[in-house]
């Protein structure tokens, strides 16, 4: 609270914000993506609201309904009747958690913004400590889970493998076990809003923007209500989205592989020519030809497929469709109603 706050003036010489400047009182935004969370809404808000009310006088809980097909919207609106600082954006359909988070980031007005899931797997009580760290001068306070036992073994394995691969080849590594549960300063939110891509792999974008990041450990517990919305295929595609968005390694690796295969082919060809010159021609070779043809055919198909993964994503980006569409909003912007 010393050195950092010393260089606090709201605006630096060039009109740029001074690092570490923290307004007091400040506004806190909590953004909560919700997809079919009707059972979770009440327990979640019952636990969250007392916590945030004690932390910041001015706060908003911005719920983003990601096209739920249950009573999520009605439940949130019922709570909004008693607490107008609960706000709601309803997306036009299910756009996915990343899009819902983007909607929250686009509409949150706070000086500090916390993203949290509705399922109480992440303890709202931690928000107080996140704000302390933010006040110390960190721009991002990312919570890292210490315990994965709430998730299935298979999911833990897939997730660990993903981080290992991703961090090997991506331009900006993601700290393992950090999720979307995090506090971000206004400057980080503004930076995220500048990123133009349609593919919102938030973990990657969070890492890419940088800023001064610190982590807070927490126990990730069982869901209180409802079921996880993620399925294997969704996670697999999610992983592909992440890797293709932040690494070109899968594209480039083929030239090296091709080079290696070509060298091996030359060596083998020289060997065959020499052997034929010395020992004369004999008939065999069927097995080696078949092996080479099948192997190279397979390798070519794989490389084409990977090319396809990237080309498909280029197509999506060039269409420049919005990341999400808003069907209705309550309490957002000036026409708060």
In the region spanning residues 112 to 131, those forming contacts with Mg ion, defined by CB under 5 A, are 117, 119, 121
Q: Are 212 and 137 a contacting pair, CB within 8 Å?
A: yes
Q: Which is nearer to Mg ion, 21 or 63 (CB)?
A: 63
Within 292-321, which residues bind ligand UDP (CB under 6 A)? none
Encoded one letter per residue, x for contact with ligand UDP by CB under 6 A and - for no contact, window 41-60 reads: --------------------
Give me the phi and psi of 58, to 5 degrees please. -105, 110
The rounded distance, in Å, linking the Cα atoms of 119 and 121 is 5
Q: What is the closest distance, in whole angstroms, from the C-beta atom of residue 129 to Mg ion in the complex?
A: 21
Tokens of 313: 């994503």
Shortest separation between residue 321's beta carbon and ligand UDP, angstroms: 17
* Residue selected from 38, 39, 60, 66 as contacting ligand UDP according to rule CB under 6 A: 66
- For helices 232-246 and 286-319, what crossing angle results, to 10°? 80
What is the closest distance, in whole angstroms, from the C-beta atom of residue 201 to ligand UDP in the complex? Answer: 14
Tell whether the torsion through CA atoms of 158, 159, 165 and 166 is positive or negative.
positive
Work out whether 100 is an interface residue with ligand UDP (CB under 6 A): yes
> CA of 189: how far to CAs of 96, 221, 227, 264, in Å?
19, 27, 29, 51
Interface mask toward ligand UDP for 20-39; x: CB under 6 A:
-------------xxx-x--
Q: Residue 2 has which token pair?
A: 């010393």
Residues β-bridged to residue 66: none
- Count the site residues for ligand UDP by CB under 6 A: 16
Touching Mg ion, residues 265-284 (CB under 5 A):
none
* Per-residue binding letters, 102-131, with ligand UDP (x by CB under 6 A): ---------------xxx-x----------
Identify the three-state secondary structure at position 184.
strand
As given in the structure block, the two tokens for residue 318 are 């060039």
Q: Does 177 bind ligand UDP (CB under 6 A)?
A: no
Per the CB < 8 A criterion, the answer to whether 221 and 126 are in contact is no
Smallest gap from Cβ 164 to ligand UDP, in A, equals 19
The torsion angles phi and psi of 302, rounded to 5 degrees, stand at -60, -45
Q: Cis link prior to 103 (omega < 30° from 0)?
A: no
Residue in 96, 124, 137, 242 binding ligand UDP, rule: CB under 6 A: 96
Nearer to ligand UDP, 102 or 138 (CB): 102
**Rule CB under 5 A: which residues touch Mg ion?**
117, 119, 121
């Amino acid at each position: 609270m010393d050195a950092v706050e010393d260089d606090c003036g709201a605006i630096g010489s060039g009109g740029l914000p001074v690092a570490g400047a923290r307004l007091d009182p400040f506004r806190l935004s909590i953004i909560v993506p919700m997809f079919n969370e009707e059972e979770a809404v009440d327990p979640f808000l019952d636990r969250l609201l007392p916590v945030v009310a004690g932390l910041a006088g001015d706060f908003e809980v911005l719920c983003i309904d990601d096209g739920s097909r249950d009573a999520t919207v009605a439940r949130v609106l019922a709570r909004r009747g008693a607490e107008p600082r609960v706000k709601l954006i309803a997306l036009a359909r299910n756009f996915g958690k990343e899009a819902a988070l983007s909607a929250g980031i686009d509409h949150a007005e706070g000086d500090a913004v916390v993203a949290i899931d509705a399922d109480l797997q992440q303890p709202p009580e931690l928000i107080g400590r996140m704000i302390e760290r933010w006040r110390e001068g960190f721009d991002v306070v990312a919570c890292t889970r210490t315990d994965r036992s709430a998730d299935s073994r298979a999911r833990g394995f897939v997730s660990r493998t993903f981080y290992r691969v991703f961090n090997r080849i991506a331009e900006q590594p993601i700290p393992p076990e950090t999720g979307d549960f995090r506090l971000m300063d206004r400057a980080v939110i503004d930076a995220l809003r500048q990123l133009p891509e349609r593919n919102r792999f938030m973990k990657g974008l969070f890492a890419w923007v940088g800023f001064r990041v610190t982590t807070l450990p927490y126990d990730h517990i069982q869901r209180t209500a409802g079921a996880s919305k993620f399925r294997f295929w969704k996670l697999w595609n999610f992983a592909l989205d992440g890797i293709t968005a932040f690494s070109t390694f899968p594209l480039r690796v083929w030239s090296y592989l091709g080079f290696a295969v070509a060298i091996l082919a030359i060596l083998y060809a020289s060997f065959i020519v020499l052997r034929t010159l010395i020992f004369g021609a004999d008939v065999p070779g069927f097995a080696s030809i078949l092996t080479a043809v099948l192997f190279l055919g397979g390798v070519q198909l794989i490389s084409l497929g990977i090319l396809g993964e990237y080309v498909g994503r280029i197509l999506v980006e060039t269409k420049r469709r919005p990341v999400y569409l808003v069907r209705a909003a309550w309490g957002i912007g000036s026409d708060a109603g």
